[in-house]
Amino acid sequence: MGFELSREGLDRVLTELGESYLLYAPVLKVGEGRFTDADVVRYDYVSSVEQIELAHKSDYAFKELLTPLSETLFFFTENECKVADAEARKVIVFLRACDLHAVKRLDQMYLANGPQEDWFYRRVRDRVAFALIGCPESFDNCFCCSMDTNVAPEGWLFSLEQTDDGYRCVVADEQLTEVFAAQAVGEAAFEPAHVSANDTVVRVPESVPVAIYQHSMWDEYTARCIKCGRCTISCPTCTCYTMQDVFYTDNGCVGERRRVGASCMIDGYTNVAGGGQYRRTACERIRFKVLHKVHDFRKRFGYDMCVGCGRCDDICPEYISFAACVNKLADAVDALAAQEVSADE
C-alpha cells in the first residue's frame, strides 16, 4: 500500500520507528568533502527526514555499516581474548535499488563463500533491515539498467521518495502499515520509482578469453591510475579487508585485533612475508578489479558483482571510468573472437 505523507507526518513515523530501530541513511556532510568548502554524501545515523539526502547519490555506500572501514574484533589482555561488544539495536538502512542488490553480493561473500560464515558480519547482518529510496531519475554515471539492478529485489520494509509537496512511501512490511497509515495524508496504489534507462550503457562480455590478460587495452591505466583505491572503497560490493593487530601499552600487555577495509588497488594488498608482491602495476590491478566485477565473481557465483551504481566513476580523481573500461573490454573480447574466426577461415 502506498501512502502520501507530509514532512511532519513522516517525521512522526521515523520517530516511532526510532523506538525500535536506529535509522542509517545518506547524509550531506557539509564541508567534509575532499576539497575546500566541498560537501560529501555519506552514511550516518539520522532522526528526521530532513537529514536524509534524497536528491543526490551517496558518494560512499551504505556498506560501512555492515563492513566497517575499521572494526575491532577482539581485545587482548595478558591472558584473555575478548570479542569486542557490538551495538545491539536493530537498524533500518536507507538505500537504493542497486544498493539492495549489492547486499546480496556482500552476503554471498561473507556468509556463503567457503564453509564458514563470517561471525562478525552475521552479528551485524542479523539486526539490519532496509528501506528503499526510490529513484525517479538516473544520476550521473549510473548504469543499473545495464546490470539489471534498476528494480529493487525483495527485502525492504518500506520505500521513500520525495514529491513536490511531501513524501510518498510504499509499505511492504505489513506490520508497519498501521504506523504509516496513521500519519498519511493520502493513500494510493503505486510502486517505488525506478529508472528504466541510464545515459551510461555498459556492455558486459559473456565470457573472457585468457588472451585478454595480456591485452594492450589495460596498458594505458598504468600511467593514468594513481592506485588510490577510492573506486573500491566507495563501491557497495567490494568486501576486502586486512587484519591489523595493535598494542597500546609499552609492555605490550593490552591490545586489539581489528580489521580494516582493504583495496586490491592500493599498495600492500598482495604483499606476502619476505617481500613478495603480485600485481605491482596499476594496469594489472585495474584488470584484476574489472574482471572480478564483471567476470570472475559471475564464474564463481553465477551473477555479476557490479551493480552499476557508478560511484567508482563519480569518485575517481583521474577520470578513469569503470563503465568505459568494461565497454572497452567487451570490444576487445569481440575483436579477439573475430580474429580467431578469421584465423580459422
Partner 1 sequence: MTLDVNVKALMKNAFRQSKVRGETASRVRVPGGVINAQSMARVVEIAEEFGNGTIFLTNRQGMEIPGIPLEKVPEVNERLQAIIDDSGVNQEERGKGYPAAGTRNVVGCPGSRLCPFGCYDTTALARRMDKAVFPNNRHVKIAFTGCSNDCAHVALNDFGIIGMTEPQYDPARCIGCEQCVNWCKWRSVGALSVVNGKIVRDEDLCIGCGVCVNYCPTRAWTRSPEHYFRLKIMGRTGKQNPRLAEDWLKWVDEDSIIKIAQNTYAYIDEYIDPGAPGGKEHIGYIVDRTGFDEFVKWALDGVELGPKCERASRVYWGGKRYDRSNELF
Partner 2 sequence: MSSHNANPYIPFASQILEIVSHTNREHTFRMAFTGKVKPGQFFEVSIPKYGEAPISVSGIEPGVSVDLTIRNVGRVTGELFASFGVGSTVLLRGPYGNGFDVSLYENGECVVVAGGTGVSPVRGVIEHLAHTTDAADKHVIVGFRSPEDMLFRADLERWAQALDLTVTVDGAPEGYVGNVGLVTKYIPTLELRDPATTTAVVVGPPAMMRFSVMGLLERGLTEDHIWVSQERRMCCGLGKCGHCRIGEKYVCLDGPVFRYDLSKDMID
> Interface with partner 1 by CB under 8 A: which residues?
29, 31-37, 40, 42, 60, 68-70, 228-230, 233, 242, 244, 246-248, 258, 260-263, 266, 268
* Binding status of residue 321 toward partner 2 by CB under 8 A: no
Q: Which does 82 bind (CB under 5 to 8 A by kind): partner 1, partner 2, none?
A: none
Least distance in angstroms from the C-beta of 260 to partner 1? 4
Q: Which does 35 bind (CB under 5 to 8 A by kind): partner 2, partner 1, none?
A: partner 1
Look up residue 14 and give its DSSP letter.
H
Nearer of residues 243 and 337 to partner 2, judged by Cβ: 243
Least distance in angstroms from the C-beta of 240 to partner 2? 4
Other CB atoms within 10 A of residue 3 CB: 25
Instruction: Answer whether 179's CB lies under 8 Å from 16's CB.
Output: yes
Report the run of H or E that residue 297 belongs to, with start and end: helix 297-301
- Count Cβ neighbours within 10 Å for each residue of 206-226 and write b for 16 or more, e otherwise: eebeeebeebebbeebeeebe
Among 239, 325, 329, 332, interactor with partner 2 by CB under 8 A: 239
Report the run of H or E that residue 91 belongs to, with start and end: strand 90-95
Among 163, 271, 324, 338, interactor with partner 2 by CB under 8 A: 271
Nearer of residues 34 and 280 to partner 2, judged by Cβ: 280
Binding mask 65-104 for partner 2 (x = CB under 8 A): --------xx-x----x-x---------------------
Nearer of residues 31 and 209 to partner 1, judged by Cβ: 31
Nearer of residues 260 and 335 to partner 1, judged by Cβ: 260
Cα–Cα dist 210/105, whole Å: 25
Least distance in angstroms from the C-beta of 248 to partner 2? 9
Instruction: Answer whether 167's CB lies under 8 Å from 49's CB.
Output: yes
* Binding status of residue 224 toward partner 2 by CB under 8 A: no
- Count Cβ neighbours within 10 Å for each residue of 47-79 and write b for 16 or more, e otherwise: eebeebbbeebbbbbbbbbbbbeebbbebbeee
Q: Which does 274 bind (CB under 5 to 8 A by kind): partner 2, partner 1, none?
A: partner 2
Cα–Cα dist 147/237, whole Å: 13
What cell does 22 get?
536506529
Instruction: Answer whether 240's CB lies under 8 Å from 260's CB.
Output: no
Among 34, 89, 90, 300, interactor with partner 2 by CB under 8 A: 300
* Binding status of residue 216 toward partner 2 by CB under 8 A: no
